């Protein structure tokens, strides 16, 4: 944890320390400080939950463009219970939105839209204010043309393309899977900072380029303001360093490649994803006009390396009928600090192998994976985009047989991968606060995940963690979290 210096100059250190201890104690015992029941629209196919702001689409089906987005300020424990929390809607009658993301601490709304047929690009990214839907004043241009069409090897319909957009401090990253390409923008300068080859357009001040990976990109996540992590379709991680704000930036540099367990004969990776919250560079210490400062302010924030990341893997099992493939899913948790060279536990330092995009032999799973990850069999019930924050994870646990025809309530399970909490273990537990939990445990030993033939052998993993399961069962369909909230959706 790092203190927010803007706050620490006015409040005593002891007050901050006690506040942090109380918050961590509440996580360990699932003790709520306050309850709120909010009437939100049903969970949409496209939604966001960042910095205490929840937003989702208002109209259209799963494959239709977004016509409007509604946003909700969610309460926090430090807010006055009598405060009314805003809901507002931005309508977009003249543009076809395919995806969006937000950063309330910057009052930033990022929209991915279609482009006219005559455009030389595949998408546009619109930079707007979250509070008022105005052009974003800190951007060199409020509209960024993305992915030149001459990079596309086949005709694409951008209504069905798989895209992912992320904000990380001063940067906006945009992945298009069908092109195996990532663009990383610095909106304040209008410069794209992850080039393979530069393409000038509009003016000499506004330049862009695309990072294309021949081996493919399933998903990516920022590790810092100068590095990102990629999961490739063949089941290995790649770490890249890129240069920022340079007139002639070189291509991103591949720092390391690390494989996951090998698949059994005939099995194939269907999809892999990466998640981690909050994004690097997000320090919610300033209030923005139109956004409740109590919602986004935080006295403490995590350092860059104090995050747990999750990789979800969906694996197809071959069957005689191609229309009836069985899908196996597994999740792997690991610390972000594995990929920082200056960290003493970095696997980049432990396994230097100097890979290049054209000459690459990934470090094998047995060399790095079992000691640094924790693997679980997944039930295809969540995408893990908003179920982890910092070193905590939240998920729903069935209270009875999952194949029951009766509607079932679910328990809440909180896992904590904080090494300090694991080391202290039961010393930190107060047995008098067990009215909110039914069991909790510290897991330090190696566990074996049964893979049902998907991988060549069962998976052993050893990343230590603690977990606690709620005593109360909730009527829920999904769960989300941030640093101080659990959002239970039904």
CB 352 within 8 A of CB 346: no
CB 334 within 8 A of CB 309: yes
Name the nearest CA neighbour of 95 among 131, 119, 71, 74: 119
* CA angle (486 as vertex; 297, 473 as ends), nearest 5: 160
Which residue from 374, 378, 377 is spatially nearest to 391, judged by alpha carbons? 374
Give SS3 for 366.
helix
Residues 6+ apart with CB under 8 A from 53: 71, 72, 73, 74, 102, 104, 130, 291, 295, 296
Q: Which two tokens stand for residue 194?
A: 């992850």
Q: Do 101 and 128 touch, CB atoms closer than 8 A?
A: no
Report the first-to-last Cα separation within the chain, whole angstroms. 32
DSSP track, 363-423:
BPHHHHHHHHEEEEE--S----SSSEETTEEEEEEESS-TT-SS---EEEEEEE--HHHHH
The continuous run of DSSP H or E covering 20 comes out as helix 13-29
Q: Contact, 473 vs 409, CB < 8 A? A: yes
Please, where are the H alpha helices in 355-473? Answer: 365-372, 419-424
Residue 143 tokens, joined: 């509209």
Is residue 355 within 8 Å of 362, Cβ to Cβ? Answer: yes
Count Cα neighbours of 187 within 13 Å in the Cβ-side half-sphere.
26
In a 13 Å sphere around the CA of 418, the CA atoms on its Cβ side amount to: 20
Is residue 47 within 8 A of residue 386, CB to CB? The reply is no
Q: Is 206 strand, coil or helix?
A: strand
In this prediction, residue 362 carries a pLDDT of 87
Q: Where are the domains of the chain?
A: 2-489
Which stretches within 300-433 are classed as H helix?
Answer: 347-350, 365-372, 419-424
pLDDT of residue 41: 67
CA neighbor of 296 nearest in space, from 276, 278, 275: 278
The 10s digit of each residue's pLDDT in 402-442 is 655 556 799 999 999 999 999 988 777 776 667 788 889 99
90: left (phi over 0), alpha (psi -120 to 50) or beta: beta
Could you tell me where the beta strands, DSSP code E, fall in 149-261? 163-168, 171-176, 181-186, 191-192, 198-201, 203-209, 211-212, 219-224, 227-231, 236-241, 253-259
pLDDT reported for residue 13: 77
Give me the pLDDT at residue 160, please: 56
The DSSP letter of residue 244 is: -
Of the candidates 160, 174, 90, 181, the residue with the CA atom closest to the CA atom of residue 125:
174
Residue 300's pLDDT is 67
Q: Is 328 helix (H, G, I), strand (E, B) or coil?
A: strand
All residue ranges of the chain with pLDDT < 50 are 1-9, 158-159, 195-208, 286-287, 293-296
User: Comparing C-alpha atoms, which of 140, 100, 99, 96 is closest to residue 115?
Assistant: 96
Rounded to whole angstroms, the Cα distance separating 17 from 490 reads 35
The DSSP 8-state label assigned to residue 363 in this structure reads B
Strand partners, 239: 229, 256
Q: Are 236 and 291 in contact (CB under 8 A)?
A: no
Per 3-state DSSP, what percentage of the chain is helix, strand, and coil (rounded to 5)? 15, 40, 45
Entry pTM: 0.88
Positive/negative CA dihedral, 95, 203, 175, 343: negative
pLDDT of residue 199: 32
Q: What's the pLDDT score for residue 453?
A: 95
Residue from 483, 402, 433 nearest 50 by CA? 483
* Residue indicated by tokens 């052993």: 460
Whether the CB-CB separation of 253 and 354 falls below 8 Å is answered with no
């Amino acid at each position: 944890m790092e203190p927010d210096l803007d706050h620490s100059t006015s409040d005593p250190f002891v007050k901050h320390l006690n506040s942090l201890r109380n918050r961590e104690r509440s996580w360990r015992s699932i003790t709520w400080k306050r309850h709120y029941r909010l009437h939100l629209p049903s969970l949409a196919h496209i939604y966001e939950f960042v910095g205490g702001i929840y937003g989702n689409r208002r109209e259209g089906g799963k494959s239709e463009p977004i016509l409007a987005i509604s946003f909700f300020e969610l309460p926090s424990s430090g807010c006055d219970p009598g405060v009314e929390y805003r809901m507002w809607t931005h309508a977009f009658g003249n543009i076809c939105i395919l995806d969006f993301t937000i950063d309330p601490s910057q009052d930033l709304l990022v929209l991915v839209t279609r482009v006219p047929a005559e455009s030389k690009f595949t998408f546009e990214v619109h930079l707007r204010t979250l509070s008022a839907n105005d052009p974003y004043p800190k951007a060199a241009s409020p509209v960024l043309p993305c992915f030149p069409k001459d990079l596309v090897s086949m005709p694409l319909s951008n209504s069905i393309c798989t895209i992912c957009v992320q904000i990380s401090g001063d940067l906006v990253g945009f992945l298009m899977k069908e092109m195996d390409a990532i663009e990383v923008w610095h909106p304040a300068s209008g410069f794209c900072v992850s080039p393979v080859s530069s393409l000038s357009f509009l003016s000499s001040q506004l330049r862009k380029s695309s990072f294309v990976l021949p081996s493919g990109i399933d998903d990516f996540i920022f590790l810092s303001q100068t590095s990102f992590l990629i999961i490739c379709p063949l089941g290995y991680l790649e770490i890249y360093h890129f240069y920022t704000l340079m007139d002639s930036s070189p291509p991103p540099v591949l720092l390391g490649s690390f494989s996951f367990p090998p698949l059994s004969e005939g099995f194939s990776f269907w999809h892999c994803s990466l998640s981690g919250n909050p994004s690097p560079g997000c320090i919610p210490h300033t209030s923005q006009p139109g956004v409740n400062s109590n919602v986004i302010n935080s006295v403490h924030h995590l350092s860059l390396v104090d995050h747990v990341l999750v990789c979800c893997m969906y694996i197809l099992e071959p069957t005689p009928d191609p229309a009836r493939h069985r899908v196996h899913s597994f999740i792997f948790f690991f610390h972000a600090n594995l990929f920082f060279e200056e960290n003493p536990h970095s696997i980049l330092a432990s396994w230097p192998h100097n890979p290049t995009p054209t000459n690459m032999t990934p470090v094998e799973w047995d060399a790095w994976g079992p000691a640094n990850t924790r693997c679980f069999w997944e039930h295809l019930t969540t995408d893990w985009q908003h179920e982890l924050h910092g070193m905590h994870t939240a998920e729903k646990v069935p209270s009875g047989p999952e194949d029951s025809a009766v509607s079932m309530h679910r328990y809440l399970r909180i896992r904590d991968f904080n090494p300090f909490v694991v080391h202290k273990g039961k010393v930190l537990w107060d047995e008098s606060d067990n009215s909110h939990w039914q069991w909790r445990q510290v897991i330090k030993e190696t566990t074996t995940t049964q893979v049902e033939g998907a991988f060549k052998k069962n998976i052993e993993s050893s990343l230590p963690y603690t977990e606690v399961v709620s005593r109360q069962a909730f009527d829920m369909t999904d769960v989300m979290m941030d640093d101080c909230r659990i959002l239970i959706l039904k």
